[in-house]
Amino acid sequence: MRVALVSMYTPHHEETGATIRTRRTAELLSERGNDVVVLCAKWWGGESIEFEQNDVTYHRVTDSPAAGRFASRVPFVLREVDPDVIQVASFPPSHVTAAKTAARFLRVPVVADWWSRDERGGSRAYRRAAKSPHAVLTPSEMVRTDVRELGASVNSTHVVPEPIDMDIVRDAPIEKRADVVYARELDEHANVESFLLALAELRDKEWDAVVVGDGPERSNAEQTARDLRIDDRVEFAGELSAKEAVPILKGAHVFAQTATVEPFATNLLWALACGCVSIVEYQARSAAHELVEGRRRGSLVTSPQELADEIVAARGFDHQTVDEAFADYDYDHVVDQFESVYEAEIADYGFF
């Protein structure tokens, strides 16, 4: 299958959940033997219009990110590429409708991959983008609800979650480095303060904690730990790869999720697969609760005090290092879902 992924931005331009998901999807599809090309703004040097990385071809649409020019150019480039299916990132939203224009001539389906609603896109453009594709993929039910409220139909929307590598979980060693772990990019939505406040409530208990992640709010979080006088028990480990973080998760007993914005809580998923008792502070713009609802080794809280109480209660659970219940989120299973949607849309695309 020849798949064109349309995304003006790649992680080389800006690392966001959406761009990382596009890159991962492209590489997983390529590993399956699909012919994958990413149509994007140029990020490599030289005069070549294409660049190959990790068996994925990146094809220049514009020399730099420029939403209007990219939207006007992408239908012509799609004709050159001649794919069997088009997947387009939802931001900028004008690119979804541009891809649909090309699809009418190419007679192929368009699938939008909708990570979240970027504030840089206009509401009217997002409504058009939600209605125009043949299918819309979202990482969670929360985002699926958002897309349906913008006008997408029930039947056209599908949840395809973020994947993890269960082989890493199964094979990694156990590193007894912390009892409690928090892991996420430390940006304005991290809300690591709730985690630290909960730990401060437990000063009289025995525990060690690790915060995995880096970002603009790290220095503020470190200062909060000092202000709460728990900095001697909280290690800020910085950004770690999955292979570096998984041993810490396997050695820990509890994982805390407190972020205020999370289209899909990937770090929480890794922790659950590593057997952590996982506690989620409910937030209106976070889908993290979807991963723990109905699970014995997961709970929801609404305040740092409740989080502290659940950390204590977690001692009632045995320590685990692998939970095979999350094998359905393995790379192979998730790429199956992408391919199934593509194949179904190609098969149904018979109205021309």
Tens-place pLDDT, residues 115-169: 986 666 567 888 989 998 999 999 999 999 999 999 999 999 999 999 999 999 9
Question: What pLDDT score was predicted for residue 50?
Answer: 93
Candidates 172, 77, 89, 87; CA nearest to 126 is: 89
203: number of CA atoms within 13 Å, CB side? 9
Cα separation of 157 and 123, whole Å? 19
Whether 352 has a pLDDT exceeding 80, the answer reads: no
The H-or-E segment that residue 312 falls in is helix 304-313
Going by C-alpha positions, the residue among 137, 133, 128 that lies closest to residue 29 is: 137
Is the pLDDT at 211 greater than 80? The verdict is yes
For residue 268, what pLDDT band results from cuts at 50, 70 and 90? very high
Q: Which of 269, 320, 281, 263 is nearest to 115 (CA)?
A: 263
Average of per-residue pLDDT across 268-288: 97
CB atoms within 10 A of CB 223: 11
Tell me: pLDDT of 350 over 90.
Answer: no
Sign of CA dihedral 41, 82, 111, 159: negative
Whether residue 109 is preceded by a cis peptide bond, meaning omega within 30 degrees of 0, is no
Residue 340 has pLDDT above 70, yes or no: yes
Q: How high is the mean pLDDT of the chain?
A: 94
Per-residue pLDDT for 10 more than 50? yes
Q: Which pLDDT tens digit goes with each residue over 40-95?
A: 999 999 889 999 999 999 999 999 999 999 999 999 999 999 999 999 999 999 99
Tokens, residue 83: 């794919």
Q: Which of 2, 73, 15, 18 is nearest to 41 (CA)?
A: 73
Question: What pTM was computed for the model?
Answer: 0.94
Q: What is the mean pLDDT of residues 254-274?
A: 98
User: Does the pLDDT of residue 351 top 80, yes or no?
Assistant: no
Give the pLDDT mean for 269-297: 97
**pLDDT computed for residue 314 by the predictor:** 96
